[in-house]
Structure 1
Amino acid sequence: MQKHKLVIAVAGASGSIYAKVLFDRLLLLQAQWEKVGVVMSDNAKYNWELELENQDYKNYPFDFYDKRDFMAPFASGSAQYNSMIVCPCSMGFLGRVAAGISDDLSSRAADVILKERRKLILLSRETPLSLIHLQNMQRLTEAGAIICPAVPSFYSKPKTFEELAATVVDRALDLAGFQLNDSYRWGESAD
């Protein structure tokens, strides 16, 4: 099995629990990835600290890059990162990518993933949606991105916020091609 090279962008939308659960799940899936590069916006760090009341994002063993570091490997398609998850994805970030504006490392990485025809998965976080949001989502979908709204499911009867967030994160990891053995599957036995 070829190991994943994954880019994660944490944009400034509310929903830091999704990023935390994604980081935690990736630790459990360490045998499946070769590299994980992470870019967090300033608002993402602020929201993490506000919503989760810690700075634990600093403690994960991934490669963290400054949003202005265009020398990061995934700023070029030649580095062959095979997928990117934006978790959570703000409408501002989504709009910049839809317009082809790569003014920081996260948007440049998304641009690279799209131009290389690799998987760009956007866990969008906004409600309600304006027509501009919907048109940007349509534009990105037509360009090959996958819009995966951060809308949790309830049929697995999650008991904690983390379990609830995992219903979205696991779906994104499925879309990126990771093999999850402990994810709830509709119509399948729990054992």
Structure 2
Amino acid sequence: MPENRRITVAVTGAGGTSAAKRLLAALQEDDRVTHVDLLVSANGRKLAALEFGTQEDPESVAQALGGTSPKVRMLDPTDLAGPVTSGSYPYDAMVILPCAAGVLGRIAQGLALDLIERAADVALKEGRRLVLCLRETPLHLIHLRNMVSVTEAGAIVYPMIPTYYNVPQTLGELQDELVERVLQLLGLRHTDRYRWDGSSTPARREHTGAP
């Protein structure tokens, strides 16, 4: 991907909006990223309000998610005429974090009931990177088939499943690693802290004291 990246980030009604906050912080701090379009669904606002103890209105949610820099523009997910509805609008990649199972299902079926789903549809038809961070468990057969469908269409399904071999000590460390892996999928690596060298990682050595 080129420098001067333009990224679309969507937050939907599944738990884990604090991970989205960490992703937004990383994108805002990255000089390679020049613009971020942020979309938060109505259910995403409910979850953010629950997890951050804030109000559900868009301005309060944007503040809670930390999407406050000039790089970030918050879009109305109900506005199907928003800029990301068109393939002519330039952006390099889209991340839905967290991605609710219902949103995954509608994307898999080519449905677009709001601007988030339409933007995902555009990403697929234009051959852009689309990362869906599914937050659901356990998974039934329809979920699994939907995951196959979006993968066949070109998306990357990256469930919000933590890794443990780095011996994380806090929820924040789990989320930091998840966000770093998402950034790597966008071609925006921030750190080698979680890179496996054949025997360990810097993060694991830090936590275990192993050489």
Deviation at 1:155, TM superposition (A): 2.4
Indicate which of 60, 67, 89 corresponds to 1:79: 89
TM-score after normalising by structure 1: 0.92
Give the 3 Å change call, closer, same or farther, for CA 75–164 of structure 1 in structure 2. same
Which protein, 1 or 2, shows the higher relative CO under an 8 Å CA cutoff with sep ≥ 6?
1
Cα-Cα RMSD: 1.8
Q: Secondary structure at the match of 1:78?
A: coil
Following TM superposition, the consecutive aligned residue runs of length 4 or more in structure 1 with deviations greater than 6 angstroms are: none
1:32-181 alignment runs, 5 A limit: 32-54=32-54, 55=61, 56-57=64-65, 59-61=67-69, 62-181=72-191
Alpha-carbon contact 2:193-2:202 (below 8 Å) kept: no
Amino acid at match of 1:151: I
Assess if the C-alpha contact under 8 Å between 1:184 and 1:190 holds in 2: yes
Distance 1:26 1:59, change over 3 A: closer
Q: Deviations over 1:130-185 (max 9, x none)?
A: 10000000000000000001011122232221211121111111101113135421
| Structure 1: distance between partners of 2:152 and 2:84 | 22
SS state of the match for residue 39, structure 1? strand
CA distance in 1, matches of 2:157, 2:80: 25
Number of matched pairs: 190
- Distance in 1 (alpha carbons) for counterparts of 2:9 and 2:129: 12
Give 2:174's aligned amino acid. L
**What is the TM-score with the length of structure 2 in the denominator?**
0.84
Deviations 1:34-83 (A, max 9, x none): 21001001111111121232441265221101112233322111112110
Give the partner amino acid of 2:202.
A
2:13 touches 2:42 (CA, 8 Å); kept in 1?
A: yes
Structure 1 Cα separation of the partners of residues 36 and 143 of structure 2: 28
Do 2:37 and 2:74's aligned partners in 1 also have CA atoms closer than 8 Å?
yes
In 2 relative to 1, CA 189–16 (structure 1 residues): closer, same or farther, beyond 3 Å?
closer
Aligned-pair identity in percent equals 40
**Separation (CA, whole Å) in 1 of partners of 2:21 and 2:104:** 20
Amino acid paired to 1:38: L
SS class of match (2:202): coil
Take 1:177 and 1:42, find their aligned partners in 2: how far apart are those partners?
A: 30
2-side partners of 1:23 and 1:182: how far apart?
19
Native 8 Å contact 1:23 1:60 kept in 2: no
- Residue ranges of structure 2 left out of the alignment (5+ in a row): 55-60, 204-211
Aligned partner of 1:190 among 202, 206, 209? 202
Whole-Å separation in 1 of the counterparts to 2:101 and 2:78:
20
